[in-house]
Amino acid sequence: KRRTAEPYKIKAVEPLNMLSREEREEALKRAGYNTFLLDSKDVYIDLLTDSGTSAMSDQQWGALMVGDEAYAGSKSWYRLRDAVQEIYGYKYVLPTHQGRGAENLLSQLMIKEGDYVPGNMYFTTTRTHQELNGGTFVDVIIDEAHDPFAELDFKGNIDITKLQKLIDDVGADRLPYVCLAVTVNMAGGQPVSMANMREVYELCQHYGISVMYDATRCVENAYFIKEREDGYQDKTIKEILKEMFSYSDGCTMSGKKDALVNIGGFLAMNDEELYIRSRELVVVYEGMPTYGGMAGRDMEAMAQGIYEAADDHFIEHRIQQVRYLGEQLINAGVPVVRPIGGHAIYLDARQFLPHLEQEQFPAQSLAAALYLDSGVRGMERGIVSAGRNKETGKHNKPKLELVRLTIPRRVYTNNHMDVVADSVIELYQKRDQITGLQMDYEPPTLRFFNARFSPL
C-alpha cells in the first residue's frame, strides 16, 4: 500500500521553543507540577487539548478580511448559518462564543428543577450547566466504555436498556432531552454507531423526549462509521454527517474542535418554538442572534472551517495521525485506552504506574514526568479532574486514571509524533523511577485548572 501524506502544505510556520531539561524543571516547579499552569512559551509539543488549537487554512485567514462587523444582519452570519444548514442539516442556528455558550442556553431553555439528563458519559462543562439548571446527569453509556481495554468498534454507544429503565423509573416528563455526545471525550474519544443513534432516536420519539447531540467531534465519529459500520464504506463524510444529525432534534457545537477555529460555537435545532425562545436568551448571554459572542470575521472563519472539516481527505489524515502515534505506543507495550480514539491517545496511568496509589495522583505525576522528559504537554484526566464528592467531601475516584495526549488539527507532523512516542516509551521503560505527587494547594472548584503539587 503506497504511503500517503498530509492533504495540505505549509504556508506559515510558528517557531517552537526548545528548553533544556534544567529550564523545564524550573518551569514545572513554577507551574506547581500542573501542566495546565505551564506557560505556552515553555512547551515544546503541546498536546494539552485539540480545543481551539487547530491551524486555520489560507481560505480561513482570507475570510477574516471580509468579516461583516454589522451589529445586526451581518453577511458573515448568513454564511455561517448556511454552512450549518448545509453540513448539519438543522433548520435554526444560534451562534455562541464557544461550546459551553451553547450548553448554557440549551440547559436554561430545556431543563427544569428535578429533571434528569441521560447521556453517554459526562463532560465537565456539559454536566455543570445541566446541574446549574437543576438537572441530574445520568450516565447511560454501555458498561464497556468504563473499561480502558475493552476493544469495541463503538464504545461510545448508549445502553438502550439503561435508558429505558430511567424512563420507566422517573417518567418521560422528567427527561427534557438525551445528551448524546459524538464522540465521547472522557471514554477516550470513542464513537457512537449510526444504528445506536437511530435506535435512541426512535425510542425517544416514542416518548416525546428530545435528542440533543454534543456534536463537538462529530467528524471523527463520522469517519469511524465509514470505517467500521456496514453500508457506509462508500459514503462520503458529508453524507454520513447528514444522516447522523437526522437522528437528533438539535445540537450544541464547539467550533474550537470540528469547525477548525480558535473560538466559536453554536446551538442548532429544528423546533421553531425552541428557536424563538433561544433567540431571546442569546441576547442576554452571547450578544445578538446574528453574531452570538463572535466578531463577523470569526463567523466567516468558522463557516469556512465547517466545510473544510467535513472534507474526506482532511479527516482521514487526522484520524491516521492519532493512530500513527497510538500504534507506536501499543507496539512498545505502553498501556493506552483501546481502541485508539479519534482525537487523542489516553495513557492508562494506573497500569503505567502501578506502584502509585490513586491519592498520589498517578495521571498528574505522569503528565509532569512527560513534560520534564521532553517538553510534551498532556492533560490529566483522572482523580484530580474528577474533583470531590459534594456530599462526603472525599475525592471522587474514577476508574479511568488517564493522561490525554490530544492531537491538534493540521498542526504537528508525524515527526513530532515520533518525538512524543520516544519520550513516552522511554518513560515507560523507567516507570518505576516516577514518584507520586502531593497536592499543596486545592482550589474550591474545578481544581484541575489551578491545583498545585510537589513531588512526594
Ligand X SMILES: CC1=C(O)/C(=C\N=C(/Cc2ccccc2)C(=O)O)C(COP(=O)(O)O)=CN1
* Degrees, nearest 5: CA angle 87-88-91: 115
Active site residue 448: yes
Catalytic residue among 318, 381, 404, 410: 381
Nearer to ligand X, 167 or 215 (CB): 215
Nearer to ligand X, 235 or 408 (CB): 408
Could you tell me the smallest distance in angstroms from the CB atom of residue 256 to ligand X? 5
Could you tell me the smallest distance in angstroms from the CB atom of residue 265 to ligand X? 5
Catalytic residue among 21, 30, 71, 430: 71
| DSSP H or E run through 364 | helix 362-374
Active site residue 453: no
Could you tell me the smallest distance in angstroms from the CB atom of residue 360 to ligand X? 22
* Degrees, nearest 5: CA angle 384-129-205: 120
Nearer to ligand X, 209 or 405 (CB): 405
What phi and psi values does residue 91 have, to the nearest 5 degrees?
Answer: -75, -45
What phi and psi values does residue 116 have, to the nearest 5 degrees?
Answer: -120, 140
Residue partners of 245: CB distance under 8 A and separation at least 6 = 88, 89, 90, 213, 215, 218, 251
Nearer to ligand X, 384 or 434 (CB): 384
Distance CA(191)–CA(222), nearest Å, equals 8
Catalytic residue among 50, 214, 249, 348: 214
Distance CA(441)–CA(433), nearest Å, equals 25
- Nearest one of 264, 261, 160, 236 to 204, comparing CA atoms: 160
Could you tell me the smallest distance in angstroms from the CB atom of residue 263 to ligand X? 8
Could you tell me the smallest distance in angstroms from the CB atom of residue 368 to ligand X? 17
Indicate the Cα dihedral angle 282, 285, 287, 288, nearest 10°: 10
Distance CA(262)–CA(439), nearest Å, equals 32
Active site residue 214: yes
Catalytic residue among 123, 224, 291, 371: 123
Active site residue 154: no
Nearer to ligand X, 33 or 123 (CB): 123
Active site residue 361: no
Residue holding cell 487539548? 49
Could you tell me the smallest distance in angstroms from the CB atom of residue 214 to ligand X? 5
Residue holding cell 474519544? 189
Q: Which residue is nearest to ligand X (CB)?
A: 99
- What angle separates helix 296-309 from helix 75-87, to the nearest 10 degrees? 20
Residues of this chain that bind ligand X (CB under 6 A): 49, 51, 98-100, 123-126, 181, 185, 214, 216, 254, 256, 265
Cα atoms found within 13 Å of the Cα of residue 94, Cβ hemisphere only = 36
- Contact by Cβ (8 Å): 365, 356: yes
Could you tell me the smallest distance in angstroms from the CB atom of residue 208 to ligand X? 25
Catalytic residue among 127, 257, 404, 409: 257
Active site residue 435: no
Q: Give me the active site residues, please.
A: 71, 123-124, 214, 257, 381, 448
